[in-house]
Amino acid sequence: MKVMLVDDDAEIRLGFTTALRRRGHTVETAEDVASARLLAERTTPDVAIIDVMLPDGDGFSLCREIRARWGFPTVMLTARDEDADVVVGLDAGADDYIAKPVSVAVLEARLRTVLRRSSRLSAEPLRVGSLELHEDSAEALAGGEALPLSATEFRLLHELALNDGHTLSRSRLIDAVWAQSPPDTSRVVDTAIQRLRAKLTAANVATPQLETVRGIGYRLR
């Protein structure tokens, strides 16, 4: 993974760079908007981590520019996690929003998720266990056989598969699957999960398992 890290805090740059390189990733850093532009032009990274507050501008504007000029995914990094800031970041085109402090393990996991999402329309299907999901045709296969899923059920399964092994809250699933027409209650998620689970069971899907994480949400594992 080629990572561009933009943060004016030298200690944070050094810490994340060292840890991510030890995990086998390539990391290039910039301390402000101007140097980030030059770096993006020169290296074209897979993903950028951008601090919201930069000495010569704000991370939101840089995120918009990256989205418009280069198109690679971005993750906003900030000490503030108020809802208003999160909304501004996501409206600017950020693919994720992480509040500091954050462990390198969590950061790496979020970066991988962002990269998987950014390639969800690629020709390659998404494979998890015996499932094979084709985003371009909204088709799901189990052991090579088509699953009779509705459009909503496919989006739900695809979102869970993109985050394989990670628990997704009901609100997170609503944002991802029902963004165009959010339901009045999260029980819609539970009902859709029940239908999806029944279809996976009917198709004899042994792996992955669609699990309920009590009080939190759901995951594939």
Residue 84 — pLDDT band, cuts 50, 70, 90?
low
Question: 118, 145, 179: which is the final residue of a domain?
Answer: 118
pLDDT, tens only, 203-217? 999 889 999 999 899
Phi-psi region of 71 (alpha: psi -120 to 50; beta: other; left: phi over 0): left
The domain that holds 81 is classified in CATH as: 3.40.50.2300
pTM value is: 0.55
Do 99 and 132 belong together in one domain?
no
Do 92 and 164 belong together in one domain?
no
pLDDT at position 120: 46
Host domain of residue 39: 2-118
Q: Is the pLDDT of residue 179 over 70?
A: no
The domain that holds 215 is classified in CATH as: 1.10.10.10
Do 87 and 137 belong together in one domain?
no
Structural domain count, the chain: 2
Question: 118, 143, 161: which is the final residue of a domain?
Answer: 118
Q: Is the pLDDT of residue 114 over 90?
A: no
pLDDT, tens only, 137-170? 889 999 999 999 998 999 899 989 988 888 989 9
Do 91 and 141 belong together in one domain?
no
> Which residue, 161, 39, 56, 170, is CA-closest to 48?
39
CB 142 within 8 A of CB 151: no
Question: 97, 118, 139: which is the final residue of a domain?
Answer: 118
